[in-house]
Structure 1
Amino acid sequence: MGELLASGLHFAEITEEHLAGVLDIYNYYVLNTTVSFHTEPQTLTQMRQSVLNGDPRFKSYVLLQDGELQGYVLITRHKNKEAYDTSGEVSIYLKPGSGGQGLGGQSLRFIEERANELGFHVLVATVCADNEPSRRLFAKHGYEQSALFKEIGRKFGRWLDIVSYQKIIG
């Protein structure tokens, strides 16, 4: 079950059948970019734990266009303390080469609707400061920069900054 949009896009909860494709997308970013701060490829078991966590509030969805996997979007726990339960962390990963087609914006609008239905008040997005496309995406959709952490990660022999954005949705 999912939501079919006019443009042939379809969002559906991630199931076991999607895991290999989702893992391929994520591991591309692990191995080739600073989008992910993992430095080693993830396993199918690790991806399963990440996107099929069993918590009904923290959902993961695939983005399909005409039946083909284009990416995935998820809400994860922002912090593991009860007072944060109305806040979620949003992440979007698009298949390499799928950027610049509006899929990120449609994914963001979709996940905000779901987050609102699930009772979230705030969504947070944390991205590498080098990731200009993601920074533009979140800013364009009403997220405000709320933090900048300098040299907080190291990958490919470089120190990396992260930027956090937030949006009050409900």
Structure 2
Amino acid sequence: MEETAASRLSFTELREEHLAEVVNIYNYYVLNTTVSFHTEPLDEAFMRESVLNGDPRFKSYAILENGEMQGYVLIARHKNKQAYDSSGEISVYLKPGSSGKGLGGKALSFIEERAAELDFHVLVATVCADNEPSRRLFTRHGYEQSALFKEIGSKFGRWLDIASYQKIIGRQACL
């Protein structure tokens, strides 16, 4: 467990005991926002497979403040092809009411450190283009917009764009 003394913020690998809260957090975004492109709530079985996958490189972590879960952050497989193995897709999900306190930036810094330890070279984040807070978060932390897909999805009766951001974190030689 990593902990920062000033804020009593800690990150711990997600476990089964966190799963119900992960489902609640994610489903809030499914039902109320364009943060997620899912349109139907997800169940625990689906989320278990997504965030507790057992892969030693692709990990999910609970964001805890004073022991209370405030969200989660993860590194997922970017594409399921071997040439992409040095790339990871990252996501940060905060519990409603937990944004605006700097938790997203701290979670992003934490996951970047973990990714560097695991020899990732590039991190990618894909967000709905309407999601200005996430776009600012990634830009503020050195991510560059690398793609914009127009009208690639629809939700709540309108077409939505997605933007991809990337950051090169590793400087190891290409294999």
Q: Normalised by the size of structure 2, how large is the TM-score?
A: 0.96
Cα offsets for 1:86-114 (capped at 9, x unmatched): 00000000000111100000000000000
1:1-170 counterparts in 2 under 5 A? Answer: 2-6=1-5, 7-170=7-170
Structure 2, unaligned runs of 5 or more: 171-175
Shift of 1:161: 0.0
The share of aligned pairs that are identical, in percent, is 78
Q: What's the RMSD between the two structures over aligned residues? A: 0.4
Measured in 1, the distance between the counterparts of 2:115 and 2:3 equals 18
Shift of 1:54: 1.2
Structure 1 counterpart of 2:129, which letter?
A: A
Structure 2 counterpart of 1:41, which letter?
A: P
Q: Normalised by the size of structure 1, how large is the TM-score?
A: 0.99
Aligned length: 169
User: 2:173: which partner in 1?
Assistant: none
Shift of 1:146: 0.2
SS at match of 1:91: strand
Structure 2 counterpart of 1:3, which letter?
A: E
SS at match of 2:162: strand
Measured in 1, the distance between the counterparts of 2:123 and 2:28 equals 25
Structure 1 runs of 4+ off > 4 angstroms?
none
Cα offsets for 1:12-44 (capped at 9, x unmatched): 000000000011000000000000000000000
SS at match of 2:39: coil
Structure 1 counterpart of 2:53, which letter?
A: N
Measured in 2, the distance between the counterparts of 1:11 and 1:29 equals 21
SS at match of 2:31: helix
Structure 1, unaligned runs of 5 or more: none
